[in-house]
Amino acid sequence: MQALRACVEKRVELLDAGFLAAIGAYKASAEARGDRAVAVLFTGIREATLAAVASRMPASMQVGAKPQKPSAPSVVSLVRERHPQHT
């Protein structure tokens, strides 16, 4: 899992909503085929991507941060809200 995180961190600037949508589709396809190992791999990629993006956000926007004043939702929450089919 460490190698996966390192790979994602190295390329986080290139990973966008389209990438997350593709990962979600690949995961769904693997699940439909009954290939649990591949589905788990895609879940790991998705989670590592969301964590990498969230870690680059200001502390007030990160999940679990104490809001200093009303703040915008975290990037993870925003992606989950707008793309529920990939959660």
pLDDT at 9 over 50: yes
CB atoms within 10 A of CB 39: 18
The total domain count for the chain is: 1
pLDDT in tens, 36-62: 999 999 999 998 888 888 888 777 766
Report if pTM > 0.85. Answer: no
**pLDDT band at residue 78 using 50, 70 and 90 as cut-offs:** low
43 φ, ψ to 5°? Answer: -65, -40
pLDDT in tens, 12-35: 888 888 899 999 999 999 999 999
Q: Is 87 helix (H, G, I), strand (E, B) or coil?
A: coil
Domain with 42, as residue range(s), is 2-86
